[in-house]
Amino acid sequence: MKKNGLAVKIADRSRSTRDEIVCWMKTIRRAVPVAVVFGALLVAGVAHAGDVNGKVSAVGLKSAGNIAVYIDVIPGKKFTAPVEHVSFDQRNLKFTPRTAIIMKGTTVDFLNSDQVAHNVYWPSIGGDKKLRHSLTVVSPGQKKSFQFNDLGTAQVLCNFHPEMVAYVVVVPTPYFGLTSTDGTFTIKNVPPGTYTLKTWSEDGKPTTQTITQTDATTNVELAVKK
């Protein structure tokens, strides 16, 4: 009798375990479609970035090239400064490139590929003379670096060679572009939203324009005047 009772208990447990497994498998089958649908909705709700393509027309300027175009401060959004440095070379008594756009917090390396010494300095940043700075002498084959933590444009000069000039345009977001000689530019991977687009140029007035970016390419036209 005890053996029969034990067999009955074992059989009951086995039956109970099988029932639990069957119930669990049914639950999984019901949950999988729900998860798939939820995942599809989640993916559909993710906003994809798009490019901003544009053209700047220069009215009264020497050229439509070398004009900085960038998205201004985005309220509530902060960006981490890039780790990669930006480089200026000094070669044949010229700065190369002439203009560089960088995000706030970027470090710039000033190289000297000439056979003479250069003195790299800027009298202000964004017109603020308190932000003037000098890297003193950069000897041939050497470089000196500086981290730009203030917004605005620094006109980079050399005391030894007055004809040398370059510009560092410090902007608040990673969304910027520099125009080609024909005035065209591209700002890559801009997330959907409404933004203020700004320009800077050597001899033109700043331009401001509101744009609304979608997950597709946005085309804009800007006019920069003397």
The CATH number given to whatever domain includes residue 201 is 2.60.40.1120
DSSP structural state of residue 84? S
For residues 113 and 30, give the distance between their C-alpha atoms in angstroms, rounded to a whole number: 69
Confidence band, pLDDT 50/70/90 cuts, at residue 5: low
Residues 156-174: pLDDT tens digits?
999 999 999 999 999 999 9
The last residue of one of the domains, among 171, 188, 217, is 171
The residue ranking higher by pLDDT, 193 or 30, is 193
What pLDDT is stored for residue 37 in this prediction? 39
Checking if the pLDDT of 13 tops 80, the result is no
In terms of domains, do 89 and 144 share one? yes
Indicate whether 97 and 166 sit together in one domain: yes
In contact, 107 and 82? CB cutoff 8 Å: no
pTM of the model: 0.79
- Claim to verify: residue 160 and residue 189 sit in the same structural domain: no
Domain that holds residue 29: 1-46
Q: Are residues 39 and 150 in the same domain?
A: no
- Beta-bridge partner residues of 221: 55
Q: What are the pLDDT digits (tens) for 93-134? A: 999 999 999 999 999 999 999 999 999 999 999 999 999 999
Total count of domains within the chain? 3
Both 40 and 52 in one domain: the answer is no
